[in-house]
Amino acid sequence: MAELLLIKERLKVIYGRYEIFITPVLKFILALITYLVINKRLGYMENLANPVLAIMMALVNAFLPVNIIILFAAAIICLHLYRLSLIAAAIAVLLFIILFLIFLRFSSDSAVAVIFTPLAFVCHVPYVIPICLGLVSNPLSALSAACGTAVYFLLTYMTANESAIQNPGDLPLADQARSMISGIVSDKTALVYIITFAVTVVVVYIIRRLSINYAWYIAIATGAVIEIITMLFAGAALNVRISVPSVLLGVLLAIIIALILQFFLFSVDYTRTEYVQFEDEEYYYHVKAVPKLMVSATDRQVKRISRARVRAHDRD
Residues 6+ apart with CB under 8 A from 123: none
Give dist(CA 191, CA 29) in Å, integer: 30
Choice among 63-67, 164-168, 198-202, 283-287 with the minimum mean pLDDT: 283-287
* Containing structural domain, residue 198: 114-164+186-267
Domain count, the chain: 1
Residue 27 lies in a domain: no
pLDDT, position 299: 44
Nearest to 155 by CA among 67, 102, 88: 88
What's this model's pTM, rounded to 2 decimal places? 0.79
Residue 213 lies in a domain: yes
Residue 218 lies in a domain: yes
Of the two residues 224 and 186, the one the predictor is more confident about is 224
Residue 125 lies in a domain: yes
pLDDT per residue as tens digits for the range 144-170: 888 889 889 988 888 888 888 877 766
pLDDT, position 294: 58
Residue 35 lies in a domain: no
Residue 314 lies in a domain: no
Instruction: Look at residue 3 and tell me whether its pLDDT is greater than 80.
Output: no
| Alpha helices (runs of H) in the chain, residue ranges in sequence order | 2-41, 51-61, 66-84, 86-106, 111-122, 128-136, 141-160, 162-166, 173-185, 188-208, 215-237, 244-265, 307-315
151, 80 contact by CB (below 8 A): no
Instruction: Please return the burial class of 263, using the count of CB atoms within 10 Å of its CB with bins 0-12, 13-18 and 19+.
Output: middle
Residue 224 lies in a domain: yes
Residue 78 lies in a domain: no
Average pLDDT over residues 238-263: 90
- The confidence band for 226, taking pLDDT boundaries of 50, 70 and 90, is very high
Give dist(CA 222, CA 215) in Å, integer: 10
